[in-house]
Amino acid sequence: MASNMRIPDPLNLIGGQWVPPRSGKTLEVVSPIDGEVFTRIADSGAEDIDAAVAAARSAFEEGEWSRLTAAERGRLLLRFSQAILDNAEELAQLETRDNGKPIAQSRADMTVTARYFEFYGGGADKVHGDVIPFLNGYNVQMTREPHGVTGHIIPWNYPAQMFGRSVAAALAMGNAAVMKPAEDACLSVLRLGEIANAILPPGALNIVAGRGEVAGKALSQHRGIDFISFTGSPEVGQMIQIEAARNFIGCTLELGGKSPQIVFEDADLDAALPVLANAIIQNGGQTCSAGARVLVQRSIYDSLMARLKERFEAVEASPSEEGAILGPLISARQKRRVEGYIDNADAPLVARGRVAEHAPKGGYYVAPALFGPVAPDARIAQEEVFGPVLVAIPFDTEAEAIRIANGTEYGLVAGIWTRDGGRQHRVAKAMRCGQVFVNGYGAGGGVELPFGGIRKSGHGREKGFEALYEFSTIKTIVINHG
Ligand code: NAP
Ligand code: MG
């Protein structure tokens, strides 16, 4: 419960110890619910990143962490998973205060976070190599080994979940991790670090809080890391990849999208309707895989839009109490950005929700907006808004729907609504993205399901067993036994 919430101190987790940033500097933490400062976090610099990378290196090469078997690593991650569940309510309250998301969403996020450590804890001892037939007199083994020290930079939209998604697979493979969470919301990550630190050997997991352009940059440029996993904006993702190239290391980038939900005239609209709306309202639309464009076959366009209009008008942005479905956005900056898109949209406004009367005036509330009909190449149909803004685009034929769906620089997720089995397969196959849902939509969750994008949505896969492969490297051992 809220009264038991433990707000972490402005410290970093380095080598199993909670230490202040070397500079002694801290940053204010604001709650989006009321815009008030309620605590501080470390404002770390390059020296703190240096210390964290050194601690991770030592854990990976000679520490207790390096001596564990895969089964032992897995068992520790399973214990951590249970500890997250044991502290889930407190963590959820903290997440809501820090990020502003509705409490029901924070509770769901903690279940998913625990699930990451359960899934990868169970996976740790199931990754194995291969024996490859070669010349007579040779035995060839292919082994999968950890990269070493992995860097992790995550955004503010799902702090706990992103922590789990990125770090659980890396640790399961035996890497030692250094994480830089987002300045705008990282308290749950620090609290998770406290819980983990009672379970994991020192240096396996290190967390350094601070600003992206200082601590994040220092991590991405550090010569002591062997791999980097980044989730956030395409602009920063591009810089991460450039730094990775300078460092001759690999990276995974998860950079968001403008994902389509395609509704054909034969779809079960009663089933589709709540999902279509939720895919952009959930987490205030601040989800990389948000269903931001709804493509509607023209014959059902007017009737579906009338129903979507009704839904959008009923949505109220409110403080993130019990029953809330739309909370505030993360920051004043993000509120201005989303309102800028709404005010300057190059398309007709169909519906606007409301901001609750009792919402604190200093909070970052934005009423959701529905636009349509929107031209496929309109700015609001092409750029990621990262807010509760849905654009509706009419289409006539299946071929046109496919063209529009694939017609952005992004390619993360797609949803297809149709009862026609042939069409389900054809359209799913034609989608240029990393994940396709037929008669459903999966923004968030699904830790078993490989996830990631193409082009401006990034590359590499997280979630599922694939993430264990991303966080490992292959060695081929050729033995001439005569
Ligand atoms: P961002 O700047 O890319 O932030 C993501 C992470 O990168 C944060 O931890 C950030 O730290 C860090 N970072 C920032 N500059 C860095 C640098 N030069 N070197 C290394 N790390 C750096 O994203 P944002 O500003 O929070 O959001 C901007 C837009 O990105 C959003 O409006 C949205 O369109 C998109 N976005 C996408 C996702 C997604 O899940 N794909 C998530 C968030 C945002 P600090 O935050 O502490 O500065
Ligand atoms: Mg905050």
Alpha helices in 389-464 (DSSP H): 398-405, 421-430
pLDDT in the model for residue 445? 66
Cα distances (angstroms) measured from residue 37 to each of 2, 34, 90, 263, 443: 17, 9, 20, 44, 30
The gap from C-alpha 160 to its chain's centroid, in whole angstroms, comes to 9
**Does the structure show a pLDDT above 70 at 116?**
yes
Nearest alpha carbon, ligand 1 atom 43: 232
Torsion of CA 121, 126, 127, 133, to 10 degrees: 180
**Does the structure show a pLDDT above 70 at 206?**
yes
How many angstroms is it from 155 CA to the middle of ligand 1? 5
Tens-digit pLDDT profile for residues 166-204: 999 999 999 999 999 999 999 999 999 999 999 999 999
pLDDT in the model for residue 7? 96
pLDDT in the model for residue 442? 87
Tens-digit pLDDT profile for residues 72-114: 999 999 999 999 999 999 999 999 999 999 999 999 999 999 9
Q: What one-letter code names the amino acid at 300?
A: I
Tens-digit pLDDT profile for residues 215-255: 999 999 999 999 999 999 999 999 999 999 999 999 999 99
CATH 3.40.605.10 placement within the chain: 12-255
In our burial notation (b when 16+ CB lie closer than 10 A, e otherwise), range 248-259 reads ebbbbbbbbbbb
CATH topology of domain 260-446: Aldehyde Dehydrogenase; Chain A, domain 2 (3.40.309)
Asked if residue 231 has its Cβ within 6 Å of ligand 1, the reply is yes
Cα distances (angstroms) measured from residue 162 to each of 183, 315, 431: 14, 27, 25
**Does the structure show a pLDDT above 60 at 2?**
no
Q: What one-letter code names the amino acid at 317?
A: A
Instruction: Point out which residues pair with 279 in neighbouring strands.
Output: none
**3-state DSSP call for residue 14?**
strand
Residue among 189, 231, 233, 283 whose CB has most ligand 1 atoms within 8 A, to mutate: 233
Closest CA to 19 of 281, 280, 206: 206
Residue among 99, 153, 207 whose CB has most ligand 1 atoms within 8 A, to mutate: 153
Q: Are strands 138-146 and 130-132 parallel, antiparallel or unpaired?
A: antiparallel
- Whether the CB-CB separation of 373 and 404 falls below 8 Å is answered with no
Closest CA to 178 of 52, 63, 54, 60: 52
Structural element, H or E, at residue 394: strand 389-395
How many angstroms is it from 210 CA to the middle of ligand 2? 12
Tens-digit pLDDT profile for residues 284-312: 999 999 999 999 999 999 999 999 999 99
What is the mean pLDDT of the segment spanning 272-281? 97
pTM over 0.95: yes
pLDDT in the model for residue 1? 45
How many angstroms is it from 416 CA to the middle of ligand 1? 29
413 band by pLDDT with thresholds 50, 70 and 90:
very high
Catalytic site residue from 90, 118, 183, 254 = 254
Asked if residue 217 has its Cβ within 6 Å of ligand 1, the reply is yes
Asked if residue 470 has its Cβ within 6 Å of ligand 1, the reply is no
Q: What's the rounded Cα separation, in Å, for the pair 277 and 167? A: 31
**pLDDT exceeding 70 applies to what percent of the chain?**
99
Judge whether 254 counts as a catalytic residue: yes
Instruction: Point out which residues pair with 435 in neighbouring strands.
Output: 413
Least confident of 2-11, 31-40, 202-211, 343-352: 2-11
Q: What one-letter code names the amino acid at 268?
A: D
User: What is the number of the ligand 1 atom nearest to the C-alpha of 162?
Assistant: 40
pLDDT in the model for residue 443? 62
Tens-digit pLDDT profile for residues 136-177: 999 999 999 999 999 999 999 999 999 999 999 999 999 999
By 3-state DSSP, what share of the chain in percent is helix, strand and coil, each rounded to 5?
40, 25, 35
Our separate counts of H helices and E strands in the chain read 16, 22
What is the mean pLDDT of the segment spanning 57-72? 98
Structure-block tokens of residue 280 = 């952009």
DSSP string, 119-181: HHHHHGGG---EEE--STTEEEEEEEEE-SEEEEE--SSSHHHHHHHHHHHHHHTT-EEEEE-
- Whether the CB-CB separation of 102 and 320 falls below 8 Å is answered with yes
Closest CA to 5 of 52, 49, 38, 44: 38
> 3.40.605.10, 3.40.190.10, 3.40.50.1100, 3.90.1150.180: which CATH number matches 12-255?
3.40.605.10
Q: What is the DSSP letter of 183?
A: T
CATH 3.40.309.10 placement within the chain: 260-446
Asked if residue 17 has its Cβ within 6 Å of ligand 1, the reply is no
Nearest alpha carbon, ligand 1 atom 4: 232
DSSP string, 294-354: EEEEHHHHHHHHHHHHHHHHH-EE--S-TT-SB---S-HHHHHHHHHHHHT-SS-EEEE-E
| Number of other CB atoms surrounding residue 123 within 10 Å | 20
Closest CA to 119 of 84, 89, 87: 84
For tokens 């706990």, what's the residue? 160
Please give the backbone phi and psi of residue 463, each rounded to the nearest 5 degrees, phi first: 65, 165
Structural element, H or E, at residue 373: none
Residue among 166, 235, 236, 455 whose CB has most ligand 1 atoms within 8 A, to mutate: 236
Judge whether 186 counts as a catalytic residue: no
How many angstroms is it from 128 CA to the middle of ligand 1? 35
Closest CA to 431 of 405, 455, 410: 405
- Whether the CB-CB separation of 27 and 331 falls below 8 Å is answered with no
How many angstroms is it from 36 CA to the middle of ligand 2? 10
What is the mean pLDDT of the segment spanning 346-355? 97
**pLDDT exceeding 90 applies to what percent of the chain?**
98
How many angstroms is it from 99 CA to the middle of ligand 2? 5
For tokens 């990262």, what's the residue? 386
- Whether the CB-CB separation of 352 and 312 falls below 8 Å is answered with yes
Q: Are strands 17-19 and 149-153 parallel, antiparallel or unpaired?
A: unpaired
Nearest alpha carbon, ligand 1 atom 19: 217
For tokens 């395409």, what's the residue? 234
The whole-chain average pLDDT of the chain stands at 97
